[in-house]
Structure 1
């Protein structure tokens, strides 16, 4: 490695690390504020917060890496240009592309690391983070008895203190209702004052009561038997409450593993394939029940079965006969789903030969013969009786309602179509998540191609103008990504373009800035535009 490569790398690594951690901190702060209400008053401790922050920091890295690359590359080459180091390098006969080469190789390797992180590390961190966040939400707040209000946080008890002192431990004019035996308020304790504290590692709450009375009604729920009424007067008494319900219990993480955020690309694509197969099964179910709804019109359902369902049934039968490893079966299933999707799309365009043959067959077999209806003057009652007899025989003598049957068919078809629409939406969501694993990694390269040449053109380092330019391009990328994901989930655009549109739109800007930087363009210098404007005014003055 030459000295110039070491110089460029040292100039880049420092700003990159600083900007990366700053961006992660800003994104993490903004994200954690959404759950601030779930943390308040629960006495979680430093360990829980540190674990949660660490996991969510990893969750922020897919967004932080491209922004950090853009900002650090712009700052690096802006500093080199501001201190005339870039000019000295060019005067030595070294081109800008040669200067960019070590950083470009570094960014390519970084993109590979980002892809690995997005595909394997981030899903595991998401599993840990969201399972921990769920447990935090389920945890009860720490005991906070309000003055003059009943507190029911302890299971089986209702506590009211009409006076609460500043030390948060001393209470006055206390009332405790004990209904832990689920027989109603059969035990009431009144006390003039009380002192509360915890013991055994905050597992139990102790209330020391002073100058009070207790009232107990025993056997109150037994019929035909008078209840025993007991009253006690005390000067000092202790009541111990279990705080087991306040402890945070960890939920089994496997319950959260089915979420798309906890899966890698292969698992997401396998789920997409399974959901496509589920859609085909739903279509098959619809056509299996068609003959029950329209017995007089569709006796042979096989004639109207769509090509995708026919192909799926054939491939499913062939797959079950394969005696090989599971990977081969999965490959056949994935292939079949892709072929099925292609068949459905072709069918929608009307270019499937099978559908044309089916239509011709239906025309030949189902189209009634034409006859002159005006030539029929009256109906023979014997003929009508024969028709009614044939209809009753066809329906096994059951009386049918011509309104209920199509209504039931309509409701069932609506339900199946709604299920298919939900599955298609889930397919779009999972496919977008799978495609974003690689697109976010490639975004680092695109942002470098924008930031490095732009810094060489601007020739301004530090955290001033480069930050503004970086935020501008990041906002553009974020808006394009958000819009694309929204349209992709709705099915308006393909899942590929939903996540790759920002890279393809911003890449020409990077190539344009690279071309301008190689030609030492004065793209962002006001003097350059002032001279151009002066020439334009001079041209118009000559014409006059």
Structure 2
């Protein structure tokens, strides 16, 4: 390796390390705010908090690493251009391609390391992170609930007025709202109790909440609209009522990109095995559903054996029944249709859920490769851009880096959400941002290596518009 290559790599790595540490610290602070409800007011020791953050920290590397590469590339090559170091290289016969050669190899090695990090370190950190959260709650069950505020646990919201006991397991003034699965109806079950006791077992994934001396209110949804306006409900009292709380749903943050899910704890090999099993089960469910509907439709096939024309079968068959029997038959048909519709809706909902689960696994699978490619992509955007704008430091490079990365992150998030809902293929959803920005990186690299600059002509867009308006104005004048 020549002295020039060592100098370029050293300059880049110093800038990259500084930027990575600063951004990493900022994103860790953001993680603290994200999990503040689990850390604040829980009497956790410093070592447990540090473990908590250390297991969370690897999950933010896929976001920090590309941004650090982008910003460091712009700052380093912008500084070279600003200080006329590139001019000195070119006067010595060293082109920009040659100056970027060894650094490109270094970024390639960094991308390779990031792939192994995403495939091995992050899944292990996710696993330890979930188990640490579960262990904290199992050792101190009352930590699942904070005094004086509603705590979301699974499909329920729980609030207590006061906690007591060595581990805060004795509760006073318990109010519990259970969410309705039907959209727009709010909480259809409200449970109030004077006292409660929290119990846990280290070998169990459930917390046991025992409520004492309370009342149970449940909203009833009648079938007719007139009865719904009366808002009927059922009320009962109890002396002892036991509820099991699933720890896997504890403090789960819906609609959060940082939510820890099971598929993120799997490596490439484990994802391949899991996806194979999920696809087999999904196909079996589709076949089973089709056969179930076919069995329900056998009465239609049986009419084919009748000698009457198809348009006369129903009329002639009904003629042998009296009015009361016809009414009963129509009621049976109505109930069968309602039952079939209910079965179809449930099967559709179940298949959609399983398809989303499969898509989530594919998204995690493709993201492991996309992380490595994003490092190379950001380098080939940042290095030429820095050479073109000829500005080092933190000011202008930071503006360009933030704009580019926000665009990349927005497209990436949009693509993942669309793929999650089965709107597009998971591969396209995960790689959408990279595929869209790759031509931009190629264009910047071409213009930088050929000293063209950043000025881009838009005549190919404006000229046709001018011609259209010119013809329109000439017609009006005539």
Coordinate RMSD, CA, aligned: 4.1
Q: Which aligned pairs between 1:24-103 and structure 2 lie closer than 5 A?
A: 24-103=24-103
Equivalent position SS for 2:393: coil
Instruction: Say if 1:279 and 1:7 are closer, same or farther in 2 by CA, change over 3 A.
Output: same
Which piece of structure 1 moves more, 484-493 or 133-142? Answer: 133-142
What's the CA shift string for 1:20-79, capped at 9, x where partnerless? 111111111112202112211222122112112222221111111111111111111111
Q: Which aligned pairs between 1:324-363 and structure 2 lie closer than 5 A?
A: none
Q: What's 2:186 paired with?
A: none
Count of residues paired in the alignment: 356
Instruction: Say if 1:408 and 1:3 are closer, same or farther in 2 by CA, change over 3 A.
Output: same
Instruction: Say if 1:54 and 1:298 are closer, same or farther in 2 by CA, change over 3 A.
Output: same
What's the CA shift string for 1:436-470, capped at 9, x where partnerless? 11011100000000001111111111111111111
Give the whole-Å Cα distance in 2 for the aligned partners of 1:402 and 1:379. Answer: 17
Equivalent position SS for 1:296: helix
Equivalent position SS for 1:152: strand
Give the whole-Å Cα distance in 2 for the aligned partners of 1:488 and 1:380. Answer: 50
Which piece of structure 1 moves more, 455-464 or 91-100? Answer: 455-464
Q: What's 1:430 paired with?
A: 361
Q: What's 2:347 paired with?
A: 416
In the alignment, structure 1 segments of 5+ residues that lack a partner are 160-177, 186-249, 300-364, 386-397, 526-544
Give the whole-Å Cα distance in 1 for the aligned partners of 2:358 and 2:332. Answer: 39
Aligned counterpart in structure 1 of residue 269 of structure 2, from 255, 266, 269: 266
User: Is 1:277 the counterpart of 2:276 in the alignment?
Assistant: no
Aligned counterpart in structure 2 of residue 286 of structure 1, from 285, 289, 305: 289
Contact in 2 for aligned 1:449/1:511 (Cα 8 Å): yes
Q: Which aligned pairs between 1:299-310 and structure 2 lie closer than 5 A?
A: none
User: Is 1:486 the counterpart of 2:417 in the alignment?
Assistant: yes
Give the whole-Å Cα distance in 2 for the aligned partners of 1:470 and 1:480. Answer: 15
TM-score after normalising by structure 1: 0.58
Q: What's 2:335 paired with?
A: 404
In the alignment, structure 2 segments of 5+ residues that lack a partner are 149-159, 174-194, 198-209, 214-246, 249-258, 322-328, 457-478
TM-score after normalising by structure 2: 0.66
Q: What's 1:153 paired with?
A: 164
Instruction: Say if 1:511 and 1:277 are closer, same or farther in 2 by CA, change over 3 A.
Output: same
User: Is 1:470 the counterpart of 2:404 in the alignment?
Assistant: no
Equivalent position SS for 2:394: coil
Give the whole-Å Cα distance in 2 for the aligned partners of 1:497 and 1:258. Answer: 21
Q: Shift of the alpha carbon at 1:368? A: 7.7
Give the whole-Å Cα distance in 1 for the aligned partners of 2:381 and 2:349. Answer: 45
Equivalent position SS for 1:297: helix
Higher CA-based Rg: 1
Instruction: Say if 1:93 and 1:270 are closer, same or farther in 2 by CA, change over 3 A.
Output: same
Give the whole-Å Cα distance in 2 for the aligned partners of 1:53 and 1:47. Answer: 10
